[in-house]
Amino acid sequence: MITIIIAEDHQMLIDGVTSFFEYDEDINIIGTVNNGEELVKLTLLKQPKLVITDIRMPIMDGIQATRKIKEKYPHIKILAMTMFDQPEAIKQMLDAGATGYILKNSGIKMLSKAIQVVAEGETFFDPNVAFNFMNDYIEGNVNVGKTEKVVLSNREKEILQLIANGKTSKEISESLFIAKTTVDTHRKNMIRKLQLTNGNELVKYAIDKKYQF
């Protein structure tokens, strides 16, 4: 049985992951928290086999929390689940002690695979992160997940860029001379394609990915 604690400041994502693994005989989520400080406290109390943590969180980020956990209990495995694909973020998580790194939009199946691999003491990485950087930085075998490339239409990319710039659906509709309902439909389609949970996740995705079209 793989016991897990999840740290994520978006409760809907926690709820979705928890619901998916509710009846899994091999995975048991024994706690969830919304910030790094609570993650450290709960991890030291319950000592799970694996921790899944975001990087950007209130009070204490995932990098600091990972470092504190690994200093106290080096046998606990850490899997980062985040929107950050920048090499510096990956390096900092690896330096802190993480042995897995996946993006939130990679889907629940890849998360399930990552959990199994990292819990067994191996290294797992999302194929969409900076793989050349990983080859230079990590010694030994690296498990890399498989995923289909997400294809957004030109209009979706255009709208995503405006979302990243802080525009509302009404402002986007006025800027592109289309109906607000059309913008809302594009938002829903992008959330589905990117396997996100809600509009807030789409905004965070647009900002964190720093789309340049």
The string of pLDDT tens digits covering residues 26-38 is: 999 999 999 999 9
Q: Which CATH class is domain 154-209?
A: mainly alpha
**Over the stretch 48-94, which tens digit does the pLDDT of each residue have?**
999 999 999 999 999 999 999 999 999 999 999 998 878 888 889 98
The pLDDT value recorded for residue 213 is 44
Full-model pTM: 0.66
The pLDDT value recorded for residue 211 is 41
The pLDDT value recorded for residue 147 is 52
Q: Which fold has domain 2-144?
A: Rossmann fold (3.40.50)
The pLDDT value recorded for residue 119 is 94
**Six token digits for residue 156:** 């979706």
- Residues of the chain short of pLDDT 70, as ranges, are 130-150, 208-213
The residue ranges of every structural domain in the chain are 2-144, 154-209
DSSP string, the chain: -EEEEEE-S-HHHHHHHHHHTTT-SSEEEEEEESSHHHHHHHHHHH--SEEEE-SS-SSS-HHHHHHHHHHH-TTSEEEEEES---HHHHHHHHHHT--EEEEGGG-HHHHHHHHHHHHTT--EE-TTS-HHHHHHH--S--EE---PPP---HHHHHHHHHHHTT--HHHHHHHHTS-HHHHHHHHHHHHHHTT-SSHHHHHHHHHHHT---
